[in-house]
Structure 1
Amino acid sequence: MKKQELIHLHGLLAEVHGHYEKSIGTELEHDEYEALGVRPTSIHKSKTDHKAAVFALADGLTSEMQAAETERKVPASAD
C-alpha cells in the first residue's frame, strides 16, 4: 500500500471513530493511538508511522465495539 493510500485509510478510520463516539455518546480512550502522535493530517510522518496509527486505531475501535456488544448481551436465566 502506498503512503497516500495509507493516509486516506487513516482518515477514514478517524471518521469511523468520530461517528462511533457520537453514536454511543461518549469519548473513547485510545492510549496507544494517542501516544503515537500521528493524525491523518500528519502528512510529514512516515508511512510506517501511519501504518502503526492505523493498526492502533483499528484495534482500539474493534476492542471497544466487542466490549459494547458483550455488555448488551443479556444472560438467559429462569425466575
Structure 2
Amino acid sequence: MRKNELIHLHTLLVEIAGDFLERGIATRDDLEPYHRLNIGPMALRSCRDDHELAVRTLSTALAVCAARDLGRETSTIPGQHLLGLVTEVEPTDSDPLRSH
C-alpha cells in the first residue's frame, strides 16, 4: 500500500474510533496504545512505517472493541501484541481523537 493510501485508511480508522467513542463501544483506555504512538493521520512527515504501525494498532484496538461489544471472544483477534506496545516516538501533528 502506498503512503497516501495508508494515510487515507488511517484517517478513516480515526473516524471510526471517534464513532466508537461516542457510542460507548470504545473508551479512551481502549485507544491508549494508539495514542502512545503519537502518530495521527495528519502527521504527513512521518514515515510510511510509522503510519502502518498506527493503522495496525488502531485497527486491532477497534476490532477488540467491536468483538467485545458483540459479545464475541477477543483473544483470537490477531495483532493484540501491538496493544501492549510501549514506544517512544517523536510527537507530531495533533491527533483528532485526543479532543473526544
The two structures have a TM-score, normalised by structure 1, of 0.80
Q: Displaced runs of 4+ in structure 1, greater than 4 A?
A: none
CA distance in 2, matches of 1:19, 1:26: 9
Partner of 1:35: 36
CA distance in 1, matches of 2:62, 2:19: 11
After TM superposition, give the deviation of residue 65 of structure 1 in Å: 1.2
- Residues matched between the structures, number: 71
Q: 1:26 to 1:67 in 2, by over 3 A?
A: closer
Partner of 1:12: 12
Listed as ranges, the matches of 1:1-79 within 5 Å are 1-24=1-24, 27-29=27-29, 30-70=31-71
Higher helix share: 1
Unaligned residue ranges in structure 1 (runs of 5+): 72-79
Amino acid at match of 1:66: A
After TM superposition, give the deviation of residue 25 of structure 1 in Å: 7.3
Amino acid at match of 2:22: K
CA distance in 1, matches of 2:36, 2:26: 20
1:12-65 per-residue CA deviation (whole Å, 9 max, x = no partner) reads 000011011112276332232112110001101000000000000000011011
Partner of 2:77: none
CA distance in 2, matches of 1:26, 1:62: 10
The higher radius of gyration belongs to 1
Instruction: Report sequence identity in percent.
Output: 30
The two structures have a TM-score, normalised by structure 2, of 0.64
Q: 1:6 to 1:25 in 2, by over 3 A?
A: closer
